[in-house]
Structure 1
Amino acid sequence: MAFSQKHTGLILVPWFNSDEWRYVYHCIYQNDKEKQRKALDILKIWKCRNPVLSTGVEGTLILLETLLLDSEHFSDEHLSQLYSIALMRFLNLSAANSEKQGSFSKTSIKNELPKWLVNLRHDIAHGHQIPSLFNLKMGIEFGLSWLNEKYWEPQSKIIKDYHIDETATVDNHLANTLKAYCNLNVALFENQEVDSEYIENLKSFLNKKLKKNVTHPYVMVDILLETLSEYLEQITDLNNLCLDVLVSKEALLKSKFEALENGTEAIHKNFRNVWQKLLNLLHQQGYTFALLNKLFDVIVDIEYCNFMDSTRKMAAFWINEILISLSSLKETDVSDDVIRLEASKKNYAEEAKQFQERVLNSNSGYLKYFLDSLLKLNQNEETFNDDVISLIKAKSDFENTHVGVETIYTVDDLNLNDPNLLEDHLDYSDLNGPHVTNSSRVITATNKWRKIEDTSIFRGCPLGVLPHQIGQKHPFIAIS
């Protein structure tokens, strides 16, 4: 009962959804002529929508329309002729619709049609007299029952709605185009010979889209970028399918480092520059922080635990490059060592704050590669995030004064028998001096323990944690 033996897979159907199909099925076999007429009306609508119906639906329409004829308006001879034509058409559809045409009897046996029905067709086609109206009507009623067994009932168990999600389709096209752009971009950067079959497929795609022949790889890159821009205009969110293509070891995370004069490493300048147009496009469309969060996932998520250190470092370097570019947006004189981003219509303030909070609440050794850039990101804003203030202070203290383990004291270090710690012997007028005096004697203070009058310095510190223990000075305590 397939649409055609030459077609496989999904086909266009005339019913609105599976509920409409089931309603028609229910009405056909209810032994209620009013419901059968409703089913017939819908079957005719299906015929208008799609003139070439599946065999099961077409056969049902032929037989049901014949059975619902008003016999009062036709003579028996006229009805017999109409029944004969309907039965002949139904049997031809059901038993003779085959690529390999054989005898009708063999095909009917294969389709489990009874021999008496085959003989009835033979009498209609070759006999001098049309079979009796009773036999013809019995044949049509059997055919409707046979269709229920062979088409309607089996289909009712498997039929389901198939919706075409336009957004998903655009996302798939976007991901495929993005993958083509990345592959070609990397190949051109590495001066590799691009696979000829791959180039031909790209040519075919671009020719179909632009109606012109494009052969030069660099022109292909530009056209793919224009195509990406068109797709990005049609979506509201850059999904993981697209981000996975971009943030991969075949694209941005391909290990391309260069050594700097100061002994550090950075992304190879030329490799960074070949991605500038794409990164600028994503920035214009409002997806910069979606990309930053995906790059940060590579650093902190267990999903990427199989990535090598160089891959994670590459992700951290890209975060650093993008953050530097964001900080340079308001500058007129931008260095060639910075990715040049054009100002976007989208306000990234809230996303920047969320990303900042996510980074500051994490604990990863890769933060050192982009921490400075993160702290500079909002320096021109009127207010700073509290976490940023704490991190800046901790970072500044760490750089100016190295606090060793020997200078961090606990309550176990307190000697209650030390007379120098008795409060009535001490004068707290000068807590920063090397000595503490009273009226009777001079006492050399150890400065391990001092009475704190202003407790505001503990604001924001977790219970039991001192200010010098937060941030980078104590790697086992995260800022919260």
Structure 2
Amino acid sequence: MSESYHVVPWFNSDEWHSVYNDLANTSSNKEKLLERLLVWKARSPSLPSGIESTLSLLQVHIEDKKNSDDGSSDQLLRLAYSSAIMRFVNHMLDTVTVKGSSLYQAARTLGVPDWVVDLRHDTAHSNTLPPLKLLRDGCAISLHWLQLNYWDKLKPYIQDYVCGQEYPVAGDSYKIAALFNFYISLGICTQTKLKIKNLSEIPNAKMRDTIVSNAIELLQDHVDLSNLKTVSINSLINTLNLEGKKLLKVKEPSAAMNEILLGNESLLLSKELLYFFGASDFKYKNKLCSSYVKCFEMLLAFLHTNDLLLDLILGLIKITQSQESGHFKSKLSALWLSEILAALKISQNIDRKMRKMSYDDKTSKKRKDLKRLYEHWYPGSSIKNRLLLDLHKSVPAELQDISEINPIITAYSNYLTYFISDLLDLLEPNLPAMVSQKICTLAKLISTPEKFPVTTTSVIYTVDDLEENDDVMIVENTEQECGNEDTINRPGTHPEINSIWKLAANEIDWSTCPIGKLPCQTKVSEIEMETN
């Protein structure tokens, strides 16, 4: 089954749409709706966050309706409402807070009222629960939010999947290109030197208009662009992270990605953009400018999160191995590989440390917390200006297997030396330091042979040199017991073979010489024995 389709708790799309209609219809029987959701819960204990939150809120709302005349149950209702609202806030805002935003920032981004978040805080930290009337209003607002932001948005994508049947893809290469360029534009805006906080502060009018157009096309009604002063760059990034994954559901997302990011019109390999940020590091230090790299950080982290980074890495490696790529493109690709692989090493180090943590500790750590912890775990390793990817995700397994990267490090490439050290660092288990050093030295020898000249004055001979002198023959008569004398060509009679071979003298008795040694070597051995 395609990875774009999932096994779900509803029997078919008709059952899902039946639940959707009952939820949207205020006059429908909500108890039957609750029963259907409980059946889904029985089929799949781990429901999607939107359905889980709907179930919790709807359950306490129906219970409240049943016991509206019983004043003794107010405390239990307040506790049930508080718990349901807390789960709603935690579940629905978690996708944004995991990127480093606070609950209030996430609520503003997703359109959840601040006072609903206050209800969650009062439940978690206060000695008294919020008033029942306020909790009822919070429940109604939360259910309405779920209707608009979960059920309504999911409705167009609910359809039955039949194995072997062709389906139209959601999205195309044009939208993926717009998505990637949108990430790069926002990455430029996040540069600390520019100090841009919202869309109205972008100084370049053309760039601002392009970002607004991309936001309208890609995010549609997920963001309000009526007042650019209220649209922060961070809120756009958070929304884009949520909605961007849907655009990747094409037939071959990796092929579309490499065509966009590694093609002739690619910004990732653009000479103009590189030179705009400064090319001195590229030319003279064989590295990329940190501000230039930071422009692509959010895009590369997005690819890492969605399991597309490995395909990009392999595409860059192919460019470095192709003679048709040209020096500039091959070198830039190799330097990008060095940056990406070094960033993956940071993610790998964090993953090793987090394996020792509990599940709750892992999920509670935000990006900024992990950056601070990394510098605590590895003193002296400042990552402030380093490229960082998804810090909650480890390295692709293929890059940690020596058998997988063996074709890469054994292929001839003039640019392998730029990134081979970073590639070897990712291997699990690590190679011995001496082996890694020898591989790096070999790569350097292949890429820069002029730095390792071979100086020799001796002449190298081959079999062909011997075959040119077929007229010189050495005849040995092995019938010694018959008294026949050996016939040997004398040096004075025949010329030397290639001036390196000399004929042995008659007085040498070869029968006394051990196999594998020359007469001169035998004498040396006798002298050594006498000395000992």
Please give the range of the TM-score, normalised by the shorter of the 2 chains: 0.3 to 0.5
TM-score by length of 2: 0.40
TM-score by length of 1: 0.44
Q: Larger radius of gyration, structure 1 or 2?
A: 1
Structure possessing the higher relative contact order (Cα contacts under 8 Å, 6 or more residues apart): 2
